[in-house]
Amino acid sequence: MLVEPVALSDFFLSFFSAAMIIFTATLYAGLFAWARISGQKSARIGACVSYASLLASVAVFSDVNHLTGYWLLLSFSMVIGYALMPHAIWHLCVATHLDETDQ
């Protein structure tokens, strides 16, 4: 079988960790951007804490959803993708707005 379904006792964990992945990823992205804008240390710490929670959520999610074998690629791409994405988008923001700084 290509997938092993979530165990009955893990239903709540599966839903909750999935929601937490999206929440913490967004919070991390938001705080990361805010830290860049404001230079506030607390925002940077917040971003780190969010990312740590994201890691924990992905770990729980992968465990209860039985992401083994090549499915682990999904877990890894979430961990790496959500970490790098905000950086990439930030660079894009700065670069695409470059020529309006003088306005």
Partner 1 sequence: MTEQVPRWASETFWKKTAIWVTGGSFVLLVFLTFDSMKQISAGGPRVPAFSVINKDISYRFDKTKQRYQPVIGDEAPLFGKVLTEAEAEMLVDHGKKTVQAKNCMNCHTLLGNGAYYAPDLTKAWMDQGWGAKASREQMMVDFLLDPEKNARTYGSNRKMPNLDITQPEAEAIVAFLKWMSSIDTNGFPHNFRAIGEEDK
Partner 2 sequence: MTLQAYQEKAAVCWAGCKQNYGVLMANPFLSGGQKLAVHYFTVAMVLFMAQLLFGLLAGLQFIFPSFLYEILDFNVNRMVHINAMVVWMLYGFIGSVYWFLEEESGVEIVGLKWGQLAFWVLTGAVTVVVLVYLLIQIGAGNDTSLWLINEGREYIEAPRWADIGIVVVMLTFFYNVAATFAKGKWSGIAGVLTLDLVALAGLYLAGMFYVTNISIDQYWWWWVIHLWVEATWEVLVGCIMAWSLMKLLGVRRQVVQTWLYIEVALMFGSGILGLGHHYFWIGTPEYWFTIGGFFSALEPIPLVAMVVHSIYDAGAHRFKNSNHPALAWVIAHAFGNFLGAGVWGFMHTLPQINLYTHGTQWSASHGHLAFFGAYATINIAFFYLAMQQARGNVWMGGDLANGWRWKTAAVLLNLGVLGMTVALLIAGYEQSFIERAVEGSTWAGYFSAQNHPWFMQAMVWRMVFGLMTAVGGGLLFWDLLTIGKGETRSAAVITNDAVTQEIA
Q: Counting contacts by CB under 8 A, is residue 70 touching partner 2?
A: yes
3-class secondary structure per residue, the chain: CCCCCCCHHHHHHHHHHHHHHHHHHHHHHHHHHHHHHHCCHHHHHHHHHHHHHHHHHHHHHHHHCCCCHHHHHHHHHHHHHHHHHHHHHHHHHHHHCHHHCCC
Name the segment binding partner 1 (CB under 8 A); options: 22-30, 58-66, 77-85, 93-101: 93-101
Token pair recorded at residue 48: 């780190």
- Under rule CB under 8 A, which residues in 6-35 are in contact with partner 1? none
Nearer of residues 40 and 52 to partner 2, judged by Cβ:
40
Q: Counting contacts by CB under 8 A, is residue 51 touching partner 2?
A: no
Please report, as ranges, the residues that interact with partner 2 according to CB under 8 A.
2-6, 8, 11, 14-15, 18-19, 21-23, 25-26, 29-30, 32-34, 36-38, 65-67, 70-71, 73-74, 77-78, 81-82, 85-86, 89-90, 92-94, 96-97, 100, 103
